[in-house]
Structure 1
Amino acid sequence: MRLAILFAAALAAFPAAAFDLQGHRGARGLAPENTLGGFEQALAIGVDTLELDLVMTADDVLVVHHDLTLNPDLARGPDGGYVVEETPIRALTLEEVKTFDVGRVRAGTDYARRFADQITRDGARIPTLAEVLERAAALGADHVRFNIETKIQPNRPDLSPSPDAFATAIADLVRAHGLVERVTVQSFDWRTLDALAAIAPEIARACLTAEGRWDTVQVGAPGPSPWLGGRDADDLGGDVPALVAQAGCAVWSPNHHDVDDARLAAAKEAGLAVIPWTVNELADMRRLVDMGVDGIITDYPNRLRALLVERGVETAPQVRVPTR
């Protein structure tokens, strides 16, 4: 009974929309990821949701960064050199985190080749979650939602706070900014989602899954997956949408390669919104829009918005961002 109540509360917090265009890490294909400039770029294009990643510093500040350690392809120290040694964010204070420049991709790397159109913004710093929320408010983006991913790994507890501490810090900050109705928390590690369900059931949750070379669901493996908060997908016959619904999430966010008509229908039958990640090619966008997914997470929100406009789908307003 309690699970049903929590699921209903989360679903109510995630409003239905014509289509949820989510800018992945802001607009990673166009601007430095998870930076204020990147989020401004996404808002200027016109997204419904800013998708971002969250880690915690040594002094317990929530900062927006994809990896649990500084990325050697992105982070440059005060001397201008890219980091070489593994440097956990959890081992750095906020003051130390702010000394790293993440506005220029290291030349010659796979990352640089994948995102050759990304504009360099030297001087970009890793923002706090509070700074991102405040910047969106300052720009008048009162329509935009925030899809916040907790970066935590069950096999590396030293690199992140406990699931309860992580969920509590997020809930406190979201409530303090009055954004409960505009925030979804997502994770591959469902322990943080379970903790959030107990701490703040009014905040919507999205269950992320991966079933490819990196597999968080682990159908057919003995025992529960460490990523699923003690759940075993085989108990439900490998039915991932059913597993997500059982976990109380309002949204299922699978790798876009894992979505087919049958799974989409099953998810809709279970009352789930389906928002795949990370979709960058127009052919894949067209396929998924035609299938009837509820949204898409993309590094290129400009491409997806153009497709939606072409199809006559309602899109979010474009935010005017002052020229720097």
Structure 2
Amino acid sequence: MNPSAKTLAVRRWCMPILVGALLAGCAAPRASPAGVFDLQAHRGGRGLAPENTLAAFRNAMQLGVTTLELDIGLTADNVVVISHDTALNPDHTRDASGAWLPKVGPAIRAMTLAQVQSYDVGRLNPGSSYGKPFAGQQPSDGERIPTLAALFALTSERGDTRVRFNIETKVDPTKPEETAAPEPMVRALLAEIDKAGMARRVTLQSFDWRTLSLAGQLAPELPRAYLTSARTLRDSRWTLGLDAASFGSTPQLVQAASAGGKAPVIWSPAFNDLTAAQVREAHALKMTVLPWTVNQRADMLRLLDMGVDGIITDFPDVLRDVLRERGIAYSSN
């Protein structure tokens, strides 16, 4: 789709009432608090607690992270739930009888919320190699795939008005049958954000830049994070039809994709793909640089030396200690 056609298509999806509500609560948002390094707990910090569960998010807030990083999908009854996987993952999912799933389970999109929440995602499957990097993860039996509304409610119940949310839409343009399409995904997400009054505290991120383009039209003040990997940069279906090879650099590609937006722009590359020169270029283009997913202390130190603005990690406790050693502020508390 060429840019003009894309813009016209997105405009047809606009929701004036919702946009007005979001803008009212979203004046001049920031990707993270001013002067604060963005310490993001990946999937709530899955090195410490079961990923994308309320137990993980609670633990991350207790650690004082800047941002809770999470993924969302839509159920068959159009409820926004927090899940990285588009289908039930046997590496950390048990059925109602307590048995581990023998294989990949049903798609989130094919189940109602009640069906989704009949499964237990509170510990790692000991027979799987998936959890080996997270051997210290503390189980929390009985955890269910939570709704986004439940996470927002948890932060309110705790009286936490500080922590931010970096929310990834799990949409795959190469497998459209596996998830909700960009339009219903973004509509449902923005409605939940508006309902909870969290517009000032949310960043929307995605590898599928169609959702970011749509959000830029419907909620132009909402910060957007452009996720990149070597795989997605080779396929223009992920990058709004833009050919990465036609641009001088990935920061220039992101700049083109985000053109016209009012909100802060974040570039979120795979950390091993990032160079110091790219960080400098992105900063010159007024972008925040937030690499993923960084779990080794040596890599954290190297990226800090490059001047990144934040780090997404499965081990927020390790990054917290590294930042303290460097004297870098990571929380507005």
Same-fold call, TM > 0.5? yes
Asked if 1:241 is matched to 2:251, the reply is yes
One of 192, 207, 227 as aligned partner of 2:211: 192
1:28 is matched with 46
**Equivalent in the alignment of 1:133:** 152
Q: What is the distance in 1 between the residues matched to 2:56 and 2:285?
A: 35
Shift of the alpha carbon at 1:123? 0.4
In the aligned structure 1, how far is the partner of 2:287 from the partner of 2:29? 13
Tell me, yes or no, if structure 1 residue 142 matches structure 2 residue 142: no
Q: Distance in 2 between matches of 1:216 and 1:151?
A: 14
CA RMSD of aligned residues (A): 1.8
TM superposition outliers: structure 1 runs of 4+ over 6 Å = none
Alpha-carbon distance in 2 for matches of 1:134, 1:230: 37
State the alpha-carbon separation in 2 of the partners of residues 86 and 77 from structure 1.
10
Query: Residue 280 of structure 2: SS of its match in structure 1?
Result: helix
Query: 1:114 — aligned with what?
Result: 133
SS in structure 1 of the partner of residue 44 of structure 2: coil
Instruction: Output the CA distance in 2 between the equivalents of 1:120 and 1:314.
Output: 30
Residue 27 of structure 2 contacts residue 200 of structure 2 at CA under 8 Å; is this kept in 1? no
Structure 1 counterpart of 2:84: 66
- The 5 A counterparts of 1:15-54 are 15=31, 16-54=34-72
Superposed displacement of residue 12, structure 1:
4.1
Moved more, 304-313 or 270-279: 304-313
Q: Percent identity?
A: 46
Aligned partners of 1:21 and 1:305 also within 8 Å: yes
53, 77, 97: which is aligned to 2:95? 77
Name 2:18's counterpart in structure 1: none
CA distance in 1, matches of 2:98, 2:252: 49
Compute the displacement of 1:317 (Å): 6.1
* Contact 1:14/1:250 (8 A) holds in 2: no
Q: Paired residues, what number?
A: 303
Q: Secondary structure at the match of 2:267?
A: strand
Q: Is structure 2 residue 190 aligned with structure 1 residue 171?
A: yes
Q: What is the alpha-carbon distance in structure 1 between the residues aligned to residue 159 and residue 232 of structure 2?
A: 38
| Equivalent position of 2:327 in the other structure | 312
Aligned twin of 2:294: 279
Measure, in 2, the Cα distance between the counterparts of 1:114 and 1:21: 20
User: Taking structure 2 as the reference length, what is the TM-score of the superposition?
Assistant: 0.87
Please name the residue that 1:6 is paired with: none
Q: Tell me what 1:221 maps to.
A: none
* SS of aligned partner of 2:130: helix
Q: Which runs of 5+ in 2 are unaligned?
A: 8-22, 259-263
Which sections of structure 1, spanning at least 5 residues, go unmatched?
Answer: 4-8, 219-223, 319-324
Per-residue Cα deviation, 1:35-68 (whole angstroms, up to 9, x for no partner): 0000011011110000000000000000000010
Q: CA separation in 2, counterparts of 1:168 and 1:13?
A: 20
Contact 1:104–1:120 (8 Å) recurs in 2: yes
Classify 1:234/1:152 alpha carbon distance in 2 versus 1 (closer, same or farther; 3 Å). same
CA distance in 2, matches of 1:149, 1:231: 21
What secondary structure is seen at the aligned counterpart in 2 of 1:170? Answer: helix
**Any residues of structure 2 matched to 1:79-94 within 5 Å, and which?**
79-83=97-101, 84-94=103-113
SS of equivalent residue, structure 1 residue 226: coil
The equivalent residue for 1:251 is: 266
Corresponding residue SS for 1:44: helix
